[in-house]
Chains A and B, each alone.
Chain A
Amino acid sequence: MTPELTKSLAHGMRRIRTVEETIAARYSEQEMRCPTHLSSGQEAVSAAAGALLRHSDLAVSGHRAHAHYLAKGGSLNAMIAEIYGRVTGCARGKGGSMHLIDEAVGFMGSTAIVGGTVPVGVGLGYSLMIKGGDDIACIFLGDAVVETGVFHEALNFATLKNLPVLFICENNFYSVYSPLEVRQPTAREIHEKIAGYGIHTASGDGNDVAAVHAVMSDAITKIRAGGGPAFLEFSTFRWREHCGPNYDDDLGYRPDPMIEEWTARDPISLFEGKALADGRLIQGEIDAMQQEIDTEVNAAFDFARSSEFPPAEEADMHVFADQMTGGPL
């Protein structure tokens, strides 16, 4: 792995971690007044995707989307302002944490209904297929999404039409407090079940960013070359509660050994530890990187908190569009 890629992956993960942990630290100030799902512990999958996707690729996600949005290049200021309900937010305060959008970098939207953006991502893939070129549509999803009908219906269509769509499943073994085994038969892993569609599937350790990068790079190359949809499953682990800023392992819904094993495998220290040992990174670079991230993140929170709230007249705006926003093909 090149030093540039090494730095880019470390930076991507640290930036997401810092954003999420800053939200967690400040949530109790009661200024971020919306349901908020954090990705601390799950940074590797997003960082790898961020290093591989172009701004002209299109991406969608669900309720836990901060990491995906940031990795795709979404504006940090606009995301934090959105969570603070300000008019400078990426959705002008209409949507909050669960409704992120930055079309300039191809992040086409995240929504709060489980599975809701999967067919939308496939539709974006269809539009890319007709237009030609080698851009792809990328759909971020959690393990619960594969339980929805719409996921299978959309995957069927993507396969039928050989669409340039990458499904990235972050399997953190839980949907809220419910473990995988009360929701899905577990004799086969998710990617093994999806393989029945006859598309490219692969899996990997979602806390090993180098491994994720390799698996994703291979799949993306295949899709860009016209190979049709691919489904990737990465196992990972959410550190904090499903929704909100706290830890909730006192509730006992995740077994202690599982918590210990996964939190010991912090994707950032795993990756940096190796890179430091073989000289691809030096501590000074990491420190400088973190300092730069801290400055950027603090500035984003300052930006959000000093931004205006949307004026009351905006409450009933945007119900209908007055003109086409897509423009001619």
Chain B
Amino acid sequence: MRSFANEIRDGLDQALAEDPGVLVFGLGVPDPKGVFGTTLDLQEKYGEKRVFDMPTSENAMTGIAIGAALGGFKPVLTHQRLDFALLSMDQLVNNAAKWHFMFGGKRSVPITIRMILGRGWGQGPTHSQNLQSWFAHIPGLKVVMPALASDAKGLLLSSIFDPNPVIFLEHRWLHNAQTEAADTNKPIPLGEANLLREGDAVTVVSVSYMTIEALHAVDVLKEQGISCDLIDLRSISPIDWPKIEKSVKKTGKLLVLDTGFKSFGIAAEIMAHITETCFRDLTLPPARLTAPDYSESTSPALTKDYHIRAEHIAARIGDMTDRDVSIEPILNARGAAHDVPGNWFTGPF
């Protein structure tokens, strides 16, 4: 068994080994915890020039990554929370995303920006934001959001060796997730979604940690005679429209799941696109389950129903299919409090 965090670490290790142009840096990269275990021992292996800690200067360091990329390198910059990377929006949006475009295709900017998405245990308003739609809104940025541990490495390798800036979003609740998949070293192309479950009742489109909740819901519903297509997007820009459209043409029903705020989000875009392209195939208005349009509070009393869980997904699919569904098996299987990814987590970060 290998964890999501191990897979990320091995992806970095492989990229550093394969290509002397790969650089890995970010706050805490060489520290004893190694960014939740994802960068452990890399500095020892590849030296301080290629793997290094940095000042708390997110905006400048992003520009420096861009400059290094223009100089021929492939930097991977890591942020322990997406919220800290907000300081670098200027460099990401005005420089990284546009350099290739605004100089008429002279030079690409092969940078990968890893950002970790926080949740639970009082992460609160500024340590829990899922702003993937911000990045996906910007032409010139690719946005990758792995869900399964078995995809983490392949997607990271494709991101690092993509000629463009890639925002690689890792949900904190996934780092301990395990996979039994064989260690393949094979890149997974960006823009290829993964059809994880097949059925004809509803098309469920999901990203990142929501896919884990969706798997529980879809599997429990299958035992109750409702089979759904479950599409894990893996990357949201570029996005795999053909796979979503094909599924909707079969099921006629679309449910989109996202970890971000509801309004103007990824789910909104998918619903709009499907309404444009598959309007006549739809037998129901498209639906979405997302975070609400307000920030996550710190108090556990205020986060109980903030995030979408498997039981919400199952209940909504029941509504969409006019079927009575039982969420008991989901509730019974849940062993930990709502604000921790499992009982192994006892805080503080």
Contacts and interface: CB of A to CB of B under 8 A. Distances in A.
B245 to A, nearest CB: 34
Given A34-B124, A34-B298, A253 B32 contact: yes
Interface in B44-66: 52-57, 59-60
B124 A99 contact: yes
A112 B126 contact: yes
B124 A95 contact: yes
Contacts of A150: 87
A144 interface: yes
B348 A244 contact: yes
A26 interface: no
Contacts of A97: 122, 298
Contact of B346 (A28, A115, A176): A28
Nearest to B303: A315
Contacts of A175: 27, 56
B292 A113 contact: no
A176 B31 contact: yes
A315 B55 contact: no
A314 interface: yes
A96 B300 CA distance: 10
B192 interface: no
Contacts of A85: 122, 298-302
Interface string A293-323: 0000000000000000111101110010000
Given A309-B299, A316-B294, A30 B127 contact: no
A93 B294 contact: no
A35 B297 contact: no
Contact of A310 (B56, B124, B301): B301
Contacts of B306: 315
B84 interface: yes
B269 interface: no
A251 B56 contact: no
B124 A183 contact: no
B125 interface: yes
Interface residues of B, number: 44
Contacts of A252: 32
A312 B304 contact: yes
B178 interface: no
Interface in A53-98: 82, 85-86, 89, 91, 93-98
B139 to A, nearest CB: 26
Nearest to A34: B122
Contacts of B301: 85, 93, 309-312
B29 to A, nearest CB: 9
B347 interface: yes
B27 A176 contact: yes
Interface string A17-40: 000000000011010011110000
B194 interface: no
Which of A85, A89, A243: most chain B CB closer than 10 A? A85
B28 A96 contact: no
Which of B86, B126, B294, B301: most chain A CB closer than 10 A? B301
A149 B294 contact: no
B126 A111 contact: yes
A114 to B, nearest CB: 5
A192 interface: no
A314 B121 CA distance: 18
A35 to B, nearest CB: 5
Given A112-B126, A310-B299, A310-B301, A36 B31 contact: no
A288 interface: no
B56 A36 contact: no
A154 to B, nearest CB: 14
A178 B27 contact: yes
A59 B123 CA distance: 24
B339 to A, nearest CB: 6
23 contacts: A33-B121, A33-B122, A34-B121, A34-B298, A34-B347, A35-B123, A35-B348, A89-B299, A94-B302, A96-B299, A97-B298, A99-B298, A111-B126, A150-B87, A177-B33, A182-B53, A243-B348, A253-B32, A309-B301, A310-B297, A311-B301, A312-B301, A312-B302
Identify the 5 closest CB pairs spanning chains A and B, nearest first. Answer: A34-B122, A93-B299, A85-B299, A96-B298, A309-B301
Interface of B: 27-28, 30-33, 52-57, 59-60, 83-84, 86-87, 121-127, 292-295, 297-306, 339, 346-349
Interface of A: 27-28, 30, 33-36, 82, 85-86, 89, 91, 93-99, 111-115, 144-145, 147-150, 175-178, 182-184, 243-245, 251-253, 309-312, 314-316, 319
